[in-house]
Structure 1
């Protein structure tokens, strides 16, 4: 007989509650989607205009005609059923500003297209105001940052502020990414991409500022977020053979604040606090925080960028998998950085920065690390969009508790900028050295960089590559080579697809830092992931992700295979 307190009755009650909650969410989504279908969306128009303006092989005259038609259709659709002059004016000014900022060279065409729509022409003085707004928007600096969205430490740079993505003053280009180079085990970023609720909209390059943000002024915006998701993990501990699966539910409220979207001084703050529940009790339920901050200043000759990221994780990685324990190990990561660029002359500039990385394990079994890096590079401009240069990076790294310090150097040459009309990026190759007191010096080839190839107006390929020294969780000195390729497609402003693959080779040397038993090994790690993200409107978006990971090692207990499937919803106001 089933008693009221039996496990079966409890699960039935829980299932009913989940179904009711899901019904409410779906009903709200439908209502919001219908509303969004008729609501003006300047972001979508800006994205459409940007795509047309950036098309190759199309004459300017054709671009002007297509942009004018797109702007006129969008403005008419957004104002056709409006009767209040104030609302029509707000829509017209927003569309003119966003579209002109997206395609400054076509600001006059855009201003005329908005100004001469029927609803706008009926308002006294609006024609001149709209055209003036478009002209002013074209002269403003480009948006300074992408959405700083409390991205996981080491996660894709496209979701956080980096100097490479920041427009700077003439002859000045901040090159170093102040968020440190995520030197914790790189395979972690794949699982965190699939495990964490996706932050930001499906729009590639969106500034993160939504129409529903609380606008404190023209330069200050604030919005609250709620990320809800669940993931199925078929090998929570990354064990070899004795695998345990679980479903992990996550609820993560948060807040985002940004200022100075098109100002010389600009920045953003974000924080998420995730409540994770393991349905099959493979781990204790945990509360995890992640936050980020960014600030920058663009001057005539000097530019400055700084950023910080903090991430708490309750997931294993390849470094700890070798023990084969049935436990999930807690880890905290902190990345701080600052970088500056100074224009010496019309053709030359110098970039310098400081970076701080910290990894902390809660278990005494493992050793985290601290690293301070000081990079310096000198650049010479060979063309309007390409610079070549070289320099050196000095780094001091030491284990979490006690042990010897490593002193590393990276001497390098390379280039950055637009290599072709479609290919942009940065690439540096050189010679790396590592010295630890009492041990032989280690050296070898060093790589650092990434490329972005825009295959079409709606798709691109991104390649990143690196070869560097690191400190393993057991105190090993690790030589790690990593290569990642990612395809990103945005067929519409609301829909985004991603497919990625990563290969990582790790050569674990002796445990020279902490004196742990020698577990020297070599690993070959592969991963592949597929994801889809869709924005229903300004308030609701969802993402579906699948991740496969496989690690082959010279030590059997370090080998593992893992599948993760996750579904996340993002609510914003």
Structure 2
């Protein structure tokens, strides 16, 4: 997306949102935002053979908020991310992102919606080598009261990922993913609902097998005890492939929070679901995430977490660990500083054949470790 188009898009959206949501007396609040950080990364490609670098990031942006004290609330955020590498300057990027989100709540009707466009040059456990891609997302969810003790919710999500050709021949697969969840909630106590749900998901790929998923679940949401809150869905998950046999198994989608003290909380998430890698390979993912955060004072807070993700491919299994610790210190209402450390480790039995040249084996080997130290300054005026 070129600079002129970015500017015109931002102006058009700002004008539209301002006219649509500024006439009810809750006019827009305008903020200038930004982050400047330094990252020391010992494996910028998440590769078996490490390449280290120090990266400088600067992310200026704007934020418009509408109806902050009203039933209808909206937020528009636009930013440009500049990344500069100390040793590998061919990796320098300027990337645009924009997001519009909103929600409405009058006790009888709950509505949330949003859309976003992001230019990314990031890697992950199954997308290596600072892979350039554009991600478009649009979603909406509405929940209405059916009776005094029940409600019905229906939603929709569409996400498109377009990979840019980097000339490496790694063969990433563009994807269109459409998700439609339907849930029925029955109030068991004033603060706890029982849920019955169905989720349909359609995945279309430019390379690889297309798939359709069906997830039937039962669960609950709300406060389980005065200190334990969260939600879970547990049920039967089935994936039908455009080629090959169907797959099925236990589906889990959950997250919980436990208030140890008024200023300290522990979070737990468990997820078991099908997935598709950036190269179009079929996955089955089982992920457990444990985190904690504490507010030491009005200015200082700490957080940390660890997660384990087991990724089953047709060709083998990866076990991916990630841990992080961090802090945030608010200098005043407008400026804060933060810092953190992230550790990543991927262990895989998908070892490239020994007959391949060593350089190619190193490139294809999915095993890696990674350490990242970050210090950042954040502002919002």
Shared fold, TM over 0.5: yes
Confirm or deny that 1:245 pairs with 2:52: yes
Contact between 2:54 and 2:87, CA under 8 Å: does it hold in 1?
yes
Counterparts of 1:494 and 1:300, CA distance in 2: 34
What pairs with 1:119-198 in structure 2 (closer than 5 Å)? none
1:354 aligned partner: 156
SS in structure 1 at match of 2:87: coil
The residue aligned with 1:340 is 142
- TM-score (norm: length of structure 1): 0.58
| CA positional deviation for 1:397 | 0.4
Tell me the secondary structure at the aligned position of residue 314 of structure 1.
strand
Q: Which runs of 5+ in 2 are unaligned?
A: 1-23, 352-364
> Which of these two proteins has the greater Rg computed from alpha carbons?
1
Q: What is the distance in 2 between the residues matched to 1:315 and 1:350?
A: 38
Aligned Cα RMSD in Å? 1.7
1:234-253 residue CA offsets vs partner (Å, 9 max, x unmatched): 0111111x211001101111
| Alignment-derived partner of residue 312 in structure 1 | 119
Q: Measure the CA separation in 2 of the matches of 1:368 and 1:492.
A: 46
Answer 1 or 2: which has greater helix percent: 1
2:339 is aligned to 544
Match of 2:131 among 305, 308, 329: 329
Distance 1:294 1:245 in 2: 37
Give me the whole-angstrom Cα distance separating, in 2, the residues matched to 1:564 and 1:311: 23
User: Residue 403 of structure 1: CA displacement?
Assistant: 4.9
| Higher percent of residues as strand | 2
**Contact 1:244–1:282 (CA<8 Å) still a contact in 2?**
no
Q: 2:81 aligns with which of 274, 285, 297?
A: 274
Aligned-partner Cα distance in 2 for 1:561–1:572: 34
Unaligned runs of at least 5 residues, structure 1? 1-215, 322-326, 510-519
Q: CA deviation at 1:283?
A: 4.2
**Segment drifting more, 312-321 vs 522-531:** 312-321
Maintained 8 Å contact 1:219/1:261: no
Q: Specify which of 200, 221, 224 is matched with residue 419 of structure 1.
A: 224
Residues 294, 307 of structure 1: 8 Å contact kept: yes
1:445–1:282 Cα change, 3 Å: farther
- Asked if structure 2 preserves the Cα contact closer than 8 Å seen for 1:414 and 1:427, the reply is yes
- Tell me the alpha carbon deviations over residues 489-534 of structure 1, each in whole angstroms, 9 at most, x when there is no partner: 111121110011010000112xxxxxxxxxx221000111010111
Would the alpha carbon gap of residues 535 and 293 (structure 1) be closer, same or farther in structure 2, given more than 3 Å must change?
Answer: same
Does residue 1:254 correspond to 2:61, yes or no?
yes
Counterpart for residue 202 of structure 1: none
| CA shift for structure 1 position 314 | 1.6
Per-residue deviation, residues 401-450 of structure 1 (Å, max 9, x unmatched): 25542111000000000111011100010110011123100000100010
The runs of at least 4 consecutive aligned structure 1 residues that moved more than 6 Å come to none
Paired with 1:232 and 1:542, the residues of 2 have a C-alpha distance of 17
Q: How far apart, in 1, do the equivalents of 2:78 and 2:320 lie?
A: 31
Whole-Å separation in 2 of the counterparts to 1:440 and 1:521: 18
Equivalent pair of 2:192/2:221 in contact (CA under 8 Å): yes
Correspondent of 1:234 among 42, 51, 67: 42
Structure-2 separation of matches of 1:488 and 1:504:
21
